[in-house]
Amino acid sequence: MRYTKFVIENFKGIHDLTIDLSKQPESRIFTFIGLNESGKTTILEAINVFSTGYRVKDFHKLIPKHLKANFNGEVSVSAYVDVDDEDNRRIKDKFVELGYTEYVPVSSFSIDTTYCFENSKYKRGVSYWGFSPKVRKKQSRKFIELPAEHSDWQTVVTYIENNLMPRIVYYENFLFDFPERIYLSGKQSDNMPNKLYKDIIEDIVEEIIPGGSVQTSLVDNYLDKDSGSQDVFDAIQSKLQDKIGNEVFSSWGRLFNTTETYTSVALRFGVETNDREQDFYVEIKIKENSDLYYISERSLGFRWFFSFLFFILFRKNRKTDLGETLFLLDEPASNLHSAAQKKLLETFERFVDDKDKPLKLLYTTHSHYMINPKWLEGAFVVKNEAINYLEPFSNSSTTDIKAIPYKNFVANYPNQQDYYQPVLDALDYQPGLLEKVPNIIITEGKNDFYTLCYINEVLLNNKYKKINLMPGAGCNKNGTVIQLYMAWNKAFIILLDGDKAGERSKADYIKEFGEPIRERIKVYNDFVPAIGNSMMEDIFTEEEKLCITQRFDNTATKYNKSAFNTAIQSALINKEMITLSKDTIDKFDKLLAELNKYKF
Q: What is the pLDDT of residues 149-166, one digit of tens each?
A: 999 999 999 999 988 998
| Banded model confidence at residue 441, pLDDT cuts 50, 70, 90 | very high
Question: Which of 115-124, 154-163, 511-520 has maximum average pLDDT?
Answer: 154-163
The whole-number pLDDT of residue 436 equals 63
| Helices marked H in 98-226 | 151-163, 194-208, 220-223
**Residue that is last in its domain, among 290, 318, 346:** 318
Q: State the angle between helix axes of 446-454 and 582-596 in degrees (0 to 180), rounded to the nearest 10.
A: 100
Q: What is the pLDDT of residues 6-16, one digit of tens each?
A: 999 999 889 99
Are residue 193 and residue 263 in the same domain, yes or no? yes
Are residue 271 and residue 151 in the same domain, yes or no? no
Stated pTM of the model: 0.73
Whole-number Å distance between alpha carbons of 203 and 182: 14
The whole-number pLDDT of residue 428 equals 41
| Banded model confidence at residue 224, pLDDT cuts 50, 70, 90 | confident
Q: Read off φ and ψ for residue 194, nearest 5 degrees.
A: -55, -35
Are residue 132 and residue 196 in the same domain, yes or no? no
Whole-number Å distance between alpha carbons of 267 and 235: 12
The whole-number pLDDT of residue 133 equals 92
Residue 546 lies in a domain: yes
Which range of residues forms the domain containing residue 63?
2-23+55-166
Residue 313 lies in a domain: yes
Per the CB < 8 A criterion, the answer to whether 442 and 473 are in contact is no
Residue 331 lies in a domain: no
The whole-number pLDDT of residue 193 equals 81
| Strand order, beta sheet including 74-82 | 14-20, 2-11, 74-82, 108-118, 121-129
Higher pLDDT, 68 or 426: 68
Whole-number Å distance between alpha carbons of 296 and 318: 27
The whole-number pLDDT of residue 488 equals 77
| Banded model confidence at residue 32, pLDDT cuts 50, 70, 90 | very high
Are residue 490 and residue 574 in the same domain, yes or no? yes
**Residue that is last in its domain, among 318, 343, 359:** 318
Per the CB < 8 A criterion, the answer to whether 568 and 459 are in contact is no
Are residue 113 and residue 188 in the same domain, yes or no? no
The whole-number pLDDT of residue 102 equals 92
- Assign residue 275 a region: left if phi > 0, alpha if psi is -120 to 50, beta otherwise? left
| Percentage of the chain modeled with pLDDT above 70 | 89
Mean pLDDT, range 66-73, rounded to an integer: 83
Q: Read off φ and ψ for residue 40, nearest 5 degrees.
A: -60, -45
Are residue 161 and residue 207 in the same domain, yes or no? no
Residue 123 lies in a domain: yes
* Domain tally, the chain: 3
Mean pLDDT, range 187-197, rounded to an integer: 85
Count of all residues that appear for the chain in the document: 600
Higher pLDDT, 107 or 262: 107
The whole-number pLDDT of residue 256 equals 66
Q: What is the pLDDT of residues 351-391, one digit of tens each?
A: 787 666 778 899 998 888 888 877 888 899 888 877 665 55
Residue 479 lies in a domain: yes
Instruction: Show Cβ contacts of residue 364 under 8 Å, excluding neighbours closer than 6 positions.
Output: 31, 32, 33, 34, 40, 41, 43, 44, 329, 330, 331, 382
Are residue 239 and residue 183 in the same domain, yes or no? yes
The whole-number pLDDT of residue 280 equals 92
The whole-number pLDDT of residue 550 equals 93
Instruction: Show Cβ contacts of residue 459 under 8 Å, excluding neighbours closer than 6 positions.
Output: 577, 578, 580, 585, 588
Residue 263 lies in a domain: yes
For residue 7, give Cα distances in angstroms to 50, 75, 201. Answer: 10, 11, 33
| Banded model confidence at residue 263, pLDDT cuts 50, 70, 90 | confident
Are residue 138 and residue 219 in the same domain, yes or no? no
Are residue 216 and residue 82 in the same domain, yes or no? no
Are residue 9 and residue 94 in the same domain, yes or no? yes
Residue 366 lies in a domain: no
The whole-number pLDDT of residue 432 equals 52
Residue 535 lies in a domain: yes
For residue 191, give Cα distances in angstroms to 177, 184, 311, 529. Answer: 15, 11, 17, 68
Are residue 141 and residue 195 in the same domain, yes or no? no
Are residue 161 and residue 193 in the same domain, yes or no? no
**Residue that is last in its domain, among 275, 290, 318:** 318
Three-state DSSP class for residue 180: coil
